[in-house]
Chain A
């Protein structure tokens, strides 16, 4: 019996390339970060707000009036955009080069 040469013993490179793993992790991290940022900033299920209305009441007349305070509150469109980019990042890791 002849022993197999060391070259034929080494397995073929079948693991996932490092860049794919990295992109998948980045995609997941981005999605998590976007969700956490959106949730922490007020869980705003409407459009993004750059100012928030503050209701006040005039003591003498009883009129309820609104003043605005500068405050950034991301809306669902920014959350969607972040999730879209993270999914895109994740998706490109599945693109394979055509084998000849």
Chain B
């Protein structure tokens, strides 16, 4: 009888450990950002979008079952020139007021390979920009840092961290952002790079 109880408790503990962890990507330290780079003919344009939120459910024992959604506030897009930033956010370009969110919703992970704490995969999902949604595939690197939250925040703040990195390219014309216009000043191809961290505090 005792053996059965012991096995049952071990199985319960194992199932609890295997449960997916929900990571919140609203980083209190303000590190999270999506970078964008346009290799325009006249001058390359680089900037960042710091208003990252969203949640990702990650199971260290089954990374392929990862799901989640990352949201970027369109108004947080920024380039080193204030006037250029205003133009970028205006109706003609990103339309930050009309379409305040840029989102990536994960549908599935393919080619999942895990080595130690790091998982690499191809993340397929729905990317929405300026109200236009398209399927994209992003090669991602996911690093699970168990019990690392207190190192980043304050002692006693137990929890895990999940770092997600990835890069992909979109064409602004595909999302209705002045297709075919001003391509010498603002390239059609936009390279997006993601480096974000989510935290999952333990109660």
A residues at B contact (CB < 8 Å): 45-53, 58, 60-66, 68
A60 touches B145 (CB 8 A): yes
A50 and B29 alpha carbons, distance in the complex (Å): 24
Find out whether the CB atom of B84 lies under 8 angstroms from the CB atom of A60: no
CB distance from A53 to the nearest CB of B (A): 6
Q: Are A66 and B35 in contact (CB under 8 A)?
A: yes
Report the separation of the CA atoms of residues A65 and B80 in the bound assembly, to the nearest whole angstrom: 15
Contacting residues, chain A, for B43 (C-beta < 8 A): 45-47
Contacts A58-B197, A61-B197; A66 near B81 (Cβ below 8 A):
no
Kindly state whether residue B161 has any CB partner on chain A within 8 Å. yes
Q: Which residues of B sit under 8 angstroms from A61, Cβ to Cβ?
A: 31, 143, 145, 152, 161, 163, 197
Interface centre among B31, B145, B196 (most CB of A within 10 A): B31
Set of chain A residues within 8 Å of B33, measured between Cβ atoms: 65-66
**Does B78 sit at the interface, judged by CB under 8 A?**
yes
**Cβ-defined contact, A63 with B78, below 8 A:** no
By a CB distance below 8 angstroms, the chain B residues around A63 are 31-32, 163, 165, 195-197
Question: Which residues of chain B have a CB within 8 Å of any CB of chain A?
Answer: 29-33, 35, 43-44, 46, 48, 78, 80-84, 143, 145, 148, 151-152, 161, 163, 165, 195-197
In angstroms, how far is the closest chain A Cβ from the Cβ of B113? Answer: 20
Point out the residues of chain B lying under 8 angstroms from A49, CB to CB: 80-81
Is B82's CB under 8 angstroms from A58's CB?
A: no
B195 to A60, Cβ gap below 8 A? no
- On chain B, the residues within 8 Å of A66 by CB distance are 33, 35, 48
5 contacts between A and B (CB under 8 A): A49-B81, A60-B145, A60-B161, A64-B195, A66-B33
In the assembled complex, the Cα of A45 lies from the Cα of B42 at a distance in Å of: 10
Least Cβ distance of A79 to chain B in Å? 14
Excluding A49-B81, A58-B31, A60-B148, 7 further A-B contacts by CB distance (< 8 Å) are A47-B43, A47-B84, A49-B80, A50-B81, A51-B82, A61-B145, A68-B80
Q: What is the CA–CA distance of A58 and B195 in the complex, to the nearest angstrom? A: 11
Q: Which residues of B lie under 8 Å from residue A46 when comparing CB positions?
A: 43-44
